[in-house]
Amino acid sequence: SSAVEDALSYLDQVKLQFGNQPQVYNDFLDIMKEFKSQSIDTPGVINRVSQLFKGHPDLIMGFNTFLPPGYKIEVQTNDLNIPISGASSQPASHNQHPSLPQPVEFNHAINYVNKIKNRFQGQPDIYKAFLEILHTYQKEQRNAKEAGSNYTPALTEQEVYTQVARLFKNQEDLLSEFGQFLPDANSSMVSLCEHTSSASSLLRKSSFCPVPSQKKPKILGKEHGMTEVSKHSTSTETMFFEKVKKALRSSEAYDNFLRCLHIFNQEVISRAELVQLVIPFLGKFPELFTWFKNFLGYRESSHGESSHAESLPKERATEGIAMEIDYASCKRLGSSYRALPKSYQQPKCTGRTPLCREVLNDTWVSFPSWSEDSTFVSSKKTQYEEHIYRCEDERFELDVVLEANLATIRALEAVQRRLSRMSAEEQLRFKLDNTMGGSSEVIHRKAIQRIYGDKAHDIIDGLKKNPAVSVPIVLKRLKMKEEEWREAQRGFNKIWREQNEKYYLKSLDHQGINFKQNDTKVLRSKTLLNEIEMLYDDHQDRASEETATPPPSGPHITQCYEDSQIMEDAAALIIHHVKRQVGIQKEDKYKIKQIIHHFIPDLLFARRGELSDVEEEEEEEEEEEDMEMDPGGPKKHNGLPGSSPSKSKLLFGNTAAQKLRGTDDAYNMFFVNNYWYIFLRLHHILCSRLLRIYGQAEKQIEEDAREREWEREVLGLKREKNENPAIQLKMKEPMDVDVEDYYSVFLEMVRNLLDGNMEPIQYEDSLREMFTIHAYIAFTMDKLIQSIVRQLQHLVTDDVCTRVTDMYLSESANKATGGLLSTQTSRATAEGTYQRKAEQLMSDENCFKVTQSRGSVSLAMELLDTEEENSDEPAEAEVRPNQYSSTHLSQKPVFLPRNLRRIRKCQRGWEQLQQERMNKVPSDKSQDGTSELKMECMFKLNSYKMVYVCKSEDYMYRHTALTRAHQSQERVNTRLHRRFHAWLDTWAKEHVTSDMAADNRKWLMGERREGLLPCTTSCDPEVLHYINVNKYRVKYRTL
């Protein structure tokens, strides 16, 4: 149009004059873009353009061409006069922007016209007739405005509505929406008329769109973004662009996609060329690509040419309606299905049978759940999963190629057989259609294109025009390719099989990689200490928030030991690694053995392990050899003379914990430092992981036994070890290990890994093969055992650790390290002394209290507060209880008014009683009562707890209590009896009828004698404890 040419020539002038100032040109484009997005109004555009082009009056005057009527820029002596008329004098036109006060009507008109276009996509005549009606009405309104009141329009609003109603028959929604534009002809109807052409195509630009002037593709900047492309788009089209943006993910790819649309808007490329350009962007997304081609009106013909929207099938006409439905607001069925609204017009289908109409679904549609809407966070695929997926993709693609080729061969073979039955004349007349003898136009065409490439178009033409000559040649070529590809498939199958065998188990293990990385941090000493310190701080914070009293004592961490046999396996692995450590002295190794085999089982009430006699004899022989070589005798690790390890030097010979192993009601207590705490935590982690592996092995044994039992009972088969179907099909290599031996083989593999006789990769693969996805828990078993051995080395070499062990042994003799729960109070003093000694010993580090009960299978750990200084001076010890009690007594207690009144009453009674005592004779004082105060209590200096002394008590007896009871008995009994009868009468009124009450009286009097012995019943009223009662006496008759 002329407006487009004017805009392009104006942009060329701006470019020419500001060639050395590209920023001015870019600023001008930004102003136009803001105006189109309605960020600024027309006066704002005039002011900014005038300032931008100051000193260039030709550009400023040329800009008047594009201003709406009523606006004009005049240049006078370098000053700008900008007369602005009212907004009502600015009729919007297609070649200019809409007046800014009416953005809602503008968008409404665009959406409505696009809806009509999509609705009648298969009937272009209706759409063209609608546009003709609107254009005629627009022309009449313009003529009427120019001629004034003397002109009578030939087409009134009523006639417009009548013609549109005749055009939109059976389209009530379109007709009712069209009626919204009729009431005000100067606003809504004009807006609808003047924006039909701009809304009829999303991809066609509006008149004042900054575009390059040259008719060739240009690389544009980011100004051609979503805002500009979807300026006049409907919500459906905007949704399409949003989906494209999400699908492409890369902003650069999305910008390139928009550039393709832009050069199509400039009519630089055709519709078919645009489709080819967007294939790299939308080719991987069939739904988006199909929608895009349908919207363009593009359809591939047999020659690869495109056709216009008029040639589209009528089934496409309803596709636009389906895209306009807001599925999010439709009725739901689960999270994946939505019901079509009742107003939706179903597409017609003439091929349905009554059964089809009965069973096929026309209501529920699949509604995708986008990943952005889901709260589930999927884990990232591992490299092994990617290998498996890649193999499957390659296999699928090759299968598709082979099957398509085979389908084409079969179709052409059928054509060849048909030709063989024809005469020569019939063969010359015989032609093929687009399906080439098959049922699909696409499959056979793509199969031929895959083989012949650029020459495929000529080959297809030859098959259609002269099948008698072309079919045998093409068929031979297809069969040759079939054999070639089948041979290649057999080679690929070997590669794919090797990759699947190599990566299958690893692809299932999605926790192994992260577990190994995280477990290294978990096993650190700092992490274990931070864990219990954080729990300790939480307890302190909660106690300080709730009350001012000290926090209650109790375990911060509880560790469960569920199987004592697992402890023996853990001990065997630890000692196996200790024996092979050259950096640990022999004496220290012997101490470590005693800790693992004697002390830990005693602490956990488990059976002691046996120190191997063979190992002791070997150590003694080696020691004797060393003594022969060194006359000075054995040396300790610090260079001091020492003694050889022998049975006489057992650290834990006869401890109290060992003696308590046979009792049920017992507990152990041990105060430890950081090293002991870390060792106990790591020891428990090792036992728990061994237990998980052992449990998984047991489950697999049970599953294998059930499978064998089912095959024997149901199928009548008896399967041996290597008769698994996967092994027989050579899809899996037979294992040399029986399922029953998995756990023992696992322990042996751990030993080999610790000794360096097995590679970590081989170790992990073997574990996956045996325990599948549950094997990851044992991947770091070697690191865990090595950490335990390091802690054990600290336990036997560190000075504080040895003193902690010695203190435990010495206090064990004093019965301060545990005993029977029933006699725990008798050991409170000894245990308190043991705790104070331990806190003093570990004053520079954390002190932990470790307890184990015989009845439970858990080890409780509590971090003690050792920050306050402990003193043995009695004076200080006496001050603390006084301070403790005074802090509580100083607090004002919570009370109720009724309790306060009762207390005052008691106080008055007490004062009266004291007065009576003073007035009595001294000989009568003994008559009041007798009391004896012998209750004793003691305070624990460490915890400020008050404990009552055994066999101490208080008692008090008041002599007048019985007399007062006799005096108040009548009053109390009467009051309680009345209260009970009041409740009973209320309940009887609600639940007991008069007939039921009569039956009850008859039964009491013995009047209903069915099944009873003959008797006579009498009722005598009496007074019992000041209450009237009925006494029933029954006399039985002798038969």
The per-residue pLDDT for range 3-37, each reduced to its tens digit, is 555 676 777 778 777 877 777 877 888 788 777 76
* pLDDT of 711: 74
Whether residue 477 sits in one domain with residue 457? yes
Q: Which pair of tokens denotes residue 663?
A: 């009792």
Confidence of residue 724 (pLDDT cuts 50, 70, 90): low
**Is 169 domain-assigned?**
yes
782-786: average pLDDT: 93
- For residue 482, what is the DSSP state? H
Whether residue 68 sits in one domain with residue 175? no
Lowest mean pLDDT among 122-126, 300-304, 569-573: 300-304
877-898: average pLDDT: 61
Whether residue 747 sits in one domain with residue 866? yes
Residue 107 is which amino acid?
N
Whether residue 13 sits in one domain with residue 125? no
Q: What is the pLDDT of residues 164-210, one digit of tens each?
A: 887 877 677 777 777 766 644 333 444 444 444 333 333 333 333 33
Q: Which pair of tokens denotes residue 841?
A: 């010993």
Q: What is the pLDDT of residues 788-823, one digit of tens each?
A: 999 999 999 999 999 999 999 888 888 888 888 778
- For residue 71, what is the DSSP state? B
**CA-based nearest residue to 620, from 587, 575, 579:** 587
The answer on pLDDT for 314 being more than 70 is no
C-alpha distances in Å from residue 852, one per residue of 600, 757, 819, 825, 967? 11, 38, 11, 17, 58
The answer on pLDDT for 686 being more than 80 is yes
604-631: average pLDDT: 58
Q: What is the pLDDT of residues 639-682, one digit of tens each?
A: 334 444 444 356 665 665 566 666 667 888 899 999 999 999 99
Q: What is the pLDDT of residues 741-757, one digit of tens each?
A: 899 999 999 999 999 99
* pLDDT of 186: 38
Question: What is the average pLDDT value for the chain, to the nearest integer?
Answer: 75
**Is 472 domain-assigned?**
yes
| Chain centre distance of CA 347 | 40
Lowest mean pLDDT among 59-63, 619-623, 633-637: 633-637
Between 640 and 365, residue with greater pLDDT: 365
Q: Percent of the chain having pLDDT more than 70?
A: 72
Among 128-132, 624-628, 786-790, the range of highest mean pLDDT: 786-790
| Crossing angle of helices 525-546 and 674-710, rounded to 10° | 100
Whether residue 294 sits in one domain with residue 426? no
Whether residue 424 sits in one domain with residue 279? no
Domain count, the chain: 6
* pLDDT of 652: 64
Lowest mean pLDDT among 308-322, 338-352, 462-476: 308-322
**Is 639 domain-assigned?**
no
Q: How far apart are CA 936 and CA 1015, in angstroms?
A: 64
Q: Which of 157, 177, 200 is the last residue of a domain?
A: 200
Whether residue 80 sits in one domain with residue 66? yes
**Is 641 domain-assigned?**
no
Q: CB-hemisphere CA count at 13 Å for 54?
A: 8
Confidence of residue 211 (pLDDT cuts 50, 70, 90): very low
Q: Are 460 and 448 contacting, i.e. CB atoms less than 8 angstroms apart?
A: yes
Whether residue 64 sits in one domain with residue 137? no
378-383: average pLDDT: 70
Q: How far apart are CA 775 and CA 765, in angstroms?
A: 9
348-363: average pLDDT: 85
Residue 143 is which amino acid?
N
Q: Are 861 and 532 contacting, i.e. CB atoms less than 8 angstroms apart?
A: yes
Lowest mean pLDDT among 272-281, 536-545, 829-838: 536-545
Q: Are 317 and 123 contacting, i.e. CB atoms less than 8 angstroms apart?
A: yes
Q: How far apart are CA 60 and CA 49, in angstroms?
A: 7
Among 436-440, 500-504, 877-881, 971-975, the range of highest mean pLDDT: 971-975
Q: Percent of the chain having pLDDT more than 90?
A: 17
What residues form DSSP beta bridges with 851? Answer: 669, 860
**Is 562 domain-assigned?**
yes
The answer on pLDDT for 960 being more than 80 is no
- 3-class state of residue 641 by DSSP: strand
515-528: average pLDDT: 88
The answer on pLDDT for 634 being more than 80 is no
- For residue 639, what is the DSSP state? S
Whether residue 227 sits in one domain with residue 151? no
* pLDDT of 306: 40
**Is 50 domain-assigned?**
yes
Whether residue 472 sits in one domain with residue 530? no
Lowest mean pLDDT among 24-28, 81-85, 518-522, 996-1000: 81-85
* pLDDT of 673: 92
Q: Is the dihedral of CA 104, 107, 110, 115 positive or negative?
A: negative
Q: What is the CATH number of the domain that holds 66?
A: 1.20.1160.11
- 3-class state of residue 379 by DSSP: coil
Whether residue 604 sits in one domain with residue 517? yes
450-477: average pLDDT: 90
The answer on pLDDT for 346 being more than 70 is yes
Cβ contacts of residue 131 below 8 Å, gap of 6+? Answer: 196, 197, 200
The answer on pLDDT for 785 being more than 90 is yes
473-492: average pLDDT: 92
Confidence of residue 78 (pLDDT cuts 50, 70, 90): very low
Q: Which helix (H) or strand (E) element contains residue 79?
A: strand 79-81
Lowest mean pLDDT among 283-292, 366-375, 575-584, 709-718: 366-375
Between 863 and 197, residue with greater pLDDT: 863
Confidence of residue 324 (pLDDT cuts 50, 70, 90): low
* pLDDT of 985: 92
Whether residue 535 sits in one domain with residue 618? yes
* pLDDT of 322: 52
Q: How far apart are CA 966 and CA 436, in angstroms?
A: 119
**CA-based nearest residue to 153, from 144, 163, 161, 142:** 144
The answer on pLDDT for 116 being more than 70 is yes
Q: Are 683 and 877 contacting, i.e. CB atoms less than 8 angstroms apart?
A: no
Q: Which of 89, 106, 139 is the last residue of a domain?
A: 89
Q: How far apart are CA 207 and CA 66, in angstroms?
A: 9
Backbone angles phi, psi at 986, to 5 degrees: -65, -45
**Is 973 domain-assigned?**
no
Cβ contacts of residue 919 below 8 Å, gap of 6+? Answer: none
**CA-based nearest residue to 732, from 693, 773, 772, 700:** 772
Alpha helix (H) residue ranges in 249-382: 251-265, 271-282, 286-296, 319-324, 354-359
Q: Which of 239, 265, 299 is the last residue of a domain?
A: 299
Indicate the pairing of strand 557-560 with strand 818-820.
Answer: unpaired
The answer on pLDDT for 41 being more than 50 is yes
Determine the straight-line distance between the first and last CA of the chain, rounded to whole angstroms: 130
The answer on pLDDT for 787 being more than 90 is yes
> Which structural domain, as residue segments, surrounds residue 1011?
992-1039
**Is 715 domain-assigned?**
no
* pLDDT of 856: 73
